[in-house]
Chain A
Amino acid sequence: MSDKEGILADPISRRQFMAYTGKAGMAAMLATPIVTAACGGETASGVLRFGHLNIFDTPNPVMTGWEATTISAPDMHWLVYDRLMEFDADMSPVLSLATDRVLSNGGTTVTYTLREGVEFHDGEALTSADVKVSFELYRNTGKGLFGGFFEPLETVEAPDDVTVVLHFSGPPALDPSVWAPILPRRIWGDMTPEELYRFGNDEMIGSGPFKLNNYAPSERLELDRNSDWWGWASNGGPKQGALASIVKMQLANEEAVANSLRNNEIDVTGELTADIWDGLAGEPGIEAVEYPGLLLDHFGINVYEDPNNPGQPHPDSGGNPLLLDQRIREAMSWAIDRQRLVDIVLGGRGQKGTVVLPPGMGASFLEIPETRQANGNPDRARQILDEAGYIDRDGDGIREAPDGQKLSFQLFASSVIDRLPRYAELIKPMLEDVGMEIQGVFAEDDPTLIQRVFVDADWDMYTWLWNTPPDPTFMLSIQSCDQFGSLSDTYYCDAEYEALFKAQQVQGDPAERERMVHQAQQIFYDAFAYCVMAYPSRLQAYRTDNLTGWIFINNGVTVNWSTEQYLVLGEA
């Protein structure tokens, strides 16, 4: 076949066509470096460029709800708004906007003295009236990740401009002041609940170390240094940081986050999965870091029991009644090889799970000795089921209860976090191996799963993760009887556990509180309503060539419950 066979005489010859194509290709090759070499914009100095999958949820701190489990939004709120107290780099609560904190009435009354002369970003003075309105908003709306911490708060008084008095029902183990951004009363004071729901707060008038410059939802959040902030060293404060801005850029996938870091387009990543993180480790100019996290991955079992008819399912429960038998749940725990889950799902970057608090919690974490861990022993699981009378009578590989009901369960998984369905896929054969049937792994998006589990109680088992604050109360509260229809993801309720949980909330003696927290963990561990699969490490990476002063903070480089990193970084 020859080009001479063309249907008509050629308008251009093949040689000409090839020549044109070649020239066009050459022109494109030459143009690309010209276009790219001349940089469009100069990169500003002293800027922390942060690449994250979810930059922000909402500028409205009162409405920061479920999405805030990533603590992505509060992290930024805490830079724009001052708090009476904050977490330092060791995750200890320390004074911040407040200069003094006095306990009285057996610890149920906390009196704060505010820093004088503090102004909001628009120049208006910050007074105790603003603090009062803020605390009342958080308590009354009960919203967000931190809503539970405000429940013991009864009244707030502002006797003068610099004094705030909080009255609690009992001495709080963790002062909710560490969570509460102080909002200006003139903006937030008279809002109806409906206005609050609809309030975008796109100006974010706070008094913190940074102020909002630009927020483009799903694209970027830009905070500029508030040079007038009382905390900067230049104003006589303790913070030496020299960041001019913090820019948080939303990237749609981890590959883009990692590549942006490689290409020096960002300075620090959000949380990464092990395979992406491994690819960054050892690259020039990049520090890939592994931190013990405050994370736990688990599967929760529906144990919603009728309080008037012990041993029977609650009328509102859609779960399989067989799961109320603790022996089945214990067998599940023995059947699951957690080390295998850590190795495969987390790429070995984490620890196998036991109790409901992660090891990153420090002394509050209850260490269960290896020999006492119900883990990775299918024979033991089979033995428990045999002794309980769950035997495969019809030879189909699935055990039946004495009344003939098969040990057949549904397993749900959040589809939003990749690793959760992966856990579920691995757990399924482990449970089937000991004679249980898992009808399938049903991956659902978070809103659907939240409705199913937390609201409708219509599930058997589901995989989930918690990113806990650095205090035991939040994680322990999830298993409180008060959390039915709210945070409880097992519908577990035990009188002894409940008493311990409530007592530790108001226990002022750290050693005694630690003992209570340990005991509560042991009780819940022995109930087998949770199967904690793993404690993932927090994997992040940052560049070492643009900024200096990176500090080690338990639970990550950034977005770790402490804002300290942002306040100490400086230009390289």
Chain B
Amino acid sequence: MTAPAEQAPPGSAPGDAARAPGGRRRWRWLRSYPARRVAQAVITLYVVATFNFWLFRLLPGDPARMIARESRLSPEAYEQLRESFGLNEPAWEQYLIYLTKIYRFDTGISFKARLPVIDLLRPALYNTLILTGSALVLIFVFGLAFGIAAGWRRGTRTDTTLTLTALTLWSLPTFWVGLMLVLLFSITLGWLPVAGIRAVAAIYRTPFAEAQDVIQHLILPAATIAIVSVGSIALIMRNSLAEVADEDYMLAARARGLRPRTILWRYGVRNAFLPTFTLMALTLGLLMAGTIQTEVVFSWPGLGLLMYDAVQTRDLPVLEASFFVIAAIVVLATLLADLFYSRLDPRIRSS
């Protein structure tokens, strides 16, 4: 028996021939669909971070004076500020420091509150997730229900009514819906609170009481988001189902004498769900970025309200971090949707 090293061509190191095929196999996963999608996501985030860096530095105004939030600065204090915040370094060096900070998730200090940005961002993100998560459940339930009802009964009066309703809801301005709901349910009926996430100065005897209070505050903002967003899901589901309904396998199922309800759920909805699922994942990302209006109307202390406040006071560290977090959530949601979609539909992976 000959040792592998003896078969190697002259000049090659012992063992190279044996390692090469195995090495290729070892790194083959890098060319797989998930790896490529993850790499794309990382590159997207890097581009967003870079864009963020230059965007905020291109804005008019002197950063040192913004940090001080005071024009009355002595030249010494002004220089000291520029030095301590690294503003005297060359732009490329500031950029490298910035990237390092992102890697460490060091978000800096809020110009306004003088607190670490992460301390402002964390509760705001949590509150926004509660709001968008609840809204997403409503959108999912009602969007699918309307979409299925309309799509399954394509061309009927039900379809027309539901489609028109979906289009109408889709075109309503968010702030108007919010104000109308407040007017009806808070001011006129007195059922639900106007604003905030908890009652001011409430005493909670049990955790359940606190949860109930939060739910009461959550109903109107979540309903507002759901009302203006449910239309898109309903329409996509309706169209997908209507297309699927014409497929041969649906006809075959019917010919086999299956019950209509079985045909709808097992063959219709399951196949029509794929594009709707993608839209749902994207909607989550878009909702995160698009709750500003709702949060402002209801004073919901989430990411949108934090950004609204930061824009008004030019609190750049808060804005930078918020933009990055939102971009990261959108990228992550899209990535997860793609990966999950590829599991559901193998054709995606092979293409």
Contact = CB atoms under 8 A, between A and B. Distances in A.
Nearest to B109: A198
Interface string B96-111: 0000000000000110
A252 B299 contact: yes
B204 A40 contact: yes
B70 interface: yes
Interface string A1-27: 111011111111010010000000000
B212 A252 contact: no
Contact of B198 (A17, A41, A199, A446): A41
Contact of B195 (A193, A265, A454): A265
Interface string B194-225: 11111111111100011111111001000000
Given A40-B213, A43-B201, A216 B123 contact: yes
Task: Determine which residue in A199, A255, A485 has the highest number of CB atoms from chain B within 10 A of its CB, and name it.
Answer: A255
Contacts of B120: 217-218
Given A40-B209, A44-B203, A35 B216 contact: yes
A265 B199 contact: yes
A60 B68 CA distance: 13
B152 A40 contact: no
Contact of A263 (B109, B194, B203, B265): B194
A58 B109 CA distance: 12
Interface in B284-312: 295-299, 301, 305-306, 308-309, 311-312
B147 interface: no
B130 to A, nearest CB: 13
Contacts of B214: 40
Interface in B77-136: 77, 80-81, 84, 109-110, 112-116, 119-120, 123-124
Given A67-B69, A265-B199, A216 B301 contact: yes
Interface stretch (B20-28, B41-49, B155-163, B325-333): B155-163
Interface string B170-197: 0000000001001001110011111111
Contact of A486 (B71, B242, B263): B71
A41 B299 contact: no
B126 to A, nearest CB: 11
Contact of B152 (A1, A8, A67): A8
Interface string A184-226: 0000000001100111111000000000000011111010000
A392 B312 CA distance: 41
Contacts of A217: 110, 113, 115, 119-120
Nearest to B160: A1
Interface stretch (B4-12, B57-65, B340-348): B57-65
A200 B116 contact: yes
Nearest to A453: B71
A47 B213 CA distance: 18
Q: Which 3 A-B pairs have the closest CB atoms?
A: A40-B213, A41-B202, A65-B69
18 contacts: A6-B154, A7-B242, A11-B152, A17-B158, A66-B71, A67-B313, A143-B70, A144-B70, A194-B84, A202-B115, A218-B120, A218-B305, A256-B299, A263-B190, A448-B314, A451-B61, A454-B71, A487-B72
Interface of A: 1-3, 5-12, 14, 17, 32-33, 35-44, 47, 49, 51, 57-60, 63, 65-67, 141-144, 147, 193-194, 197-202, 216-220, 222, 245, 247, 249-253, 255-256, 259-260, 262-263, 265-266, 416, 445-448, 450-451, 454-455, 485-487
Given A200-B113, A455-B71, 17 more contacts: A7-B152, A7-B246, A10-B153, A11-B259, A40-B211, A41-B198, A67-B313, A143-B68, A218-B309, A245-B201, A251-B299, A265-B195, A445-B312, A446-B312, A446-B313, A447-B61, A447-B69
